[in-house]
């Protein structure tokens, strides 16, 4: 099996930025208790988490995930889910793109993401948000709270409420454990570990498992029912975070006009945009006063669009 080696510097940058994201919390809201305690420099975070620094040959990262897989969905706790997600995140940088070096941009996206994540069913998850350098408009959610968004997608957004909607959609996949449920249903993935209990010295079985999970999530995507759930829950997360909750509608309407099912995730299969639009509008009708909530075009232009020119 070919294994793509990631640059140490790229992984170090990601760990620093994503762990910052997990700790920053809702820094968009001033005056929150303990917020100063949560702010740490990248150097502090890397020093506190040296076990996360490395490339795909780092046995400890792989072993932690391999141990978690044996428990399967019903028994996997948050720490084990994160261990699996770390392994998938290593794969993601090889295929999705390197992290963008602009720390201010990374922190801004992470703050928006964390704010909507606090409205989810699992606000205690240490969600990590990473902007990657890729011209392809795409977003990706991995178990354990690892969420990626491409610069190609960011440049297509018009305001902060649209960013919040995209990130909220991805957060829902994590909060409602959609990725783990897909793994549990896939007999071929499970059989990789049902053949025996011992971990191969080269971790070949676990790496094959990670390859298959990553391929499944990035090419086939989530089931239609999960996409509908993420659309609907994501609109609610954005609303309760204080954003206009209709941020996904421009993408879906564009997809509908173009006659294609894809919106902002590069999956082969997606529900009909017309159905998704209808379901989101039904959710909006249940949210009082949503039309008066802000879209924040100016801040988005300043923090994202002008920095990506």
The structural domains of the chain, with segments of one domain joined by +, span 8-222+294-305
Tell me what pLDDT residue 65 has: 59
CA distances (Å), origin 22, targets 19, 69, 109, 123, 144:
5, 23, 12, 11, 11
Answer for the pair 242, 252: CB distance below 8 angstroms, yes or no: no
Asked if pLDDT for residue 251 goes beyond 90, the answer is no
Rounded CA separation 168/155 (Å) = 18
- Looking only at the bridges linking them, the beta strands covering 128-132 and 139-142 are unpaired
Q: Which of 101-115, 144-158, 252-266 has the lowest mean pLDDT?
A: 252-266
Q: Which of 263 and 22 is assigned the larger pLDDT?
A: 263
Has this prediction a pTM greater than 0.95? no
Q: Give per-residue pLDDT as tens, 131-170.
A: 999 999 999 999 999 999 999 999 999 999 999 999 999 9
Q: Which of 234 and 74 is assigned the larger pLDDT?
A: 234
Tell me what pLDDT residue 83 has: 85
In sequence order, what are the residues at sequence separation of 6 or more whose Cβ sits closer than 8 angstroms to the Cβ of residue 69?
A: 84, 193, 206, 209
């Amino acid at each position: 099996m070919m294994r793509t080696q990631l640059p140490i510097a790229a992984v170090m940058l990601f760990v620093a930025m994503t762990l910052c994201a997990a700790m920053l919390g809702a820094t968009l809201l001033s005056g929150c208790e303990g917020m100063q305690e949560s702010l740490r420099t990248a150097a502090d975070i890397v020093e506190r988490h040296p076990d996360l620094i490395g490339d795909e040959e780092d046995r400890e990262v792989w072993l932690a995930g391999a141990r978690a897989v044996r428990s399967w969905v019903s028994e996997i706790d948050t720490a084990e889910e994160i261990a699996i997600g770390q392994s998938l995140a290593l794969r993601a940088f090889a295929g999705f793109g390197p992290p963008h070096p602009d720390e201010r941009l990374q922190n801004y996206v992470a703050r928006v993401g964390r704010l909507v994540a606090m409205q989810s069913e699992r606000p205690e998850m240490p969600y990590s948000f990473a902007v990657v350098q890729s011209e392809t408009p795409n977003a990706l959610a991995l178990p354990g709270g690892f969420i990626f968004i491409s610069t190609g997608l960011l440049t297509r957004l018009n305001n902060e409420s649209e960013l919040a909607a995209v990130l909220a959609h991805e957060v829902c996949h994590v909060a409602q454990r959609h990725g783990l449920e897909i793994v549990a249903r896939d007999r071929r993935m499970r059989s990789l570990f049902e053949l025996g209990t011992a971990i191969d010295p080269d971790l070949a079985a676990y790496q094959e498992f990670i390859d298959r999970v990553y391929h499944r999530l990035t090419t086939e995507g989530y089931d239609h029912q999960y996409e509908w759930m993420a659309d609907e829950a994501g609109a609610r997360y954005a609303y309760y975070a204080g954003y206009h909750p209709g941020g996904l509608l421009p993408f879906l309407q564009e997809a509908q006009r173009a006659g294609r099912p894809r919106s902002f995730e590069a999956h082969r299969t997606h529900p009909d945009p017309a159905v998704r639009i209808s379901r989101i509008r039904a959710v909006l009708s249940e949210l009082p006063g949503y039309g008066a909530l802000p879209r924040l075009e100016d801040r988005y232009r300043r923090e994202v669009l002008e920095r990506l020119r």
